[in-house]
Structure 1
């Protein structure tokens, strides 16, 4: 079975699943082999369309993501006036986010966690 995988300015590329290699056909020439038009029809269960299967997978994954987000939200520590966050255990990205929320400017050139932490601590916020 040969299926179209990419169209370029120079021509088309096809995947030969039997020989496990790509075939190139220059622009303006027709392939000298049979091309399978709908490759998805071969791998999907009979009667189901690929679009329907993708929609079902997206719905399942989005429902799972929502549950995970709720768990993460419930397990987060409250950062406020009463508790100081554990800055030492934060990543550089988390430190940047924390600094942004606190109104502390971190220059883009500063990349190291230790340097970001030092700027935050020196700001006194």
Structure 2
């Protein structure tokens, strides 16, 4: 399955879970493969099925919080502080 990783000013990155590699589609070009939707299921606090919050970057942690309806205060900017806030 191919899933969207992130969108940048130069294009969009996708992850191919079968071939275990990143695919890049430059801005303005057509996607020539089918993109599946990846959903994560929360298993226990601090972990998402197959993903540990400890391995996520600050933007990914903020996106996770938004998805859970949690608003992280602007004063909390460090990764460790965000992890502590979410736990």
* TM-score, structure 2 normalization: 0.50
**Structure whose residues are more often helix by fraction:** 1
1:80 aligned to 2:62? Answer: no
Query: In the alignment, which of 54, 79, 94 is matched to residue 60 of structure 2?
Result: 94
- 1:1-125 → structure 2 map (5 Å cutoff): 61-63=28-30, 66-67=31-32, 70=35, 73=36, 76=38, 78-82=39-43, 84=48, 85-121=51-87
Evaluate the alpha carbon distance shift between residue 69 and residue 101 of structure 1 in structure 2; reply closer, same or farther with a 3 A threshold.
Answer: farther
| Structure 1: segments with no counterpart, 5+ residues | 1-58
Please tell me whether Structure 1 or Structure 2 has the larger radius of gyration of its CA atoms.
1
Runs ≥4 in structure 1, deviation > 4 angstroms? none
CA RMSD of aligned residues (A): 3.1
Matches of 2:33 and 2:58, distance apart in 1: 23
Per-residue CA deviation, residues 30-73 of structure 1 (Å, 9 max, x unaligned), is xxxxxxxxxxxxxxxxxxxxxxxxxxxxx98522xx35883xx5
- In structure 2, relative to structure 1, the CA distance for the partners of 1:60 and 1:108 (3 Å cut) is closer
Structure with bigger strand share is: 2
Alpha-carbon distance between aligned partners in 2 of 1:68 and 1:93, rounded to the nearest angstrom: 26
In the alignment of these two chains, the number of paired residues is 57
Distance 1:101 1:60 in 2: 26
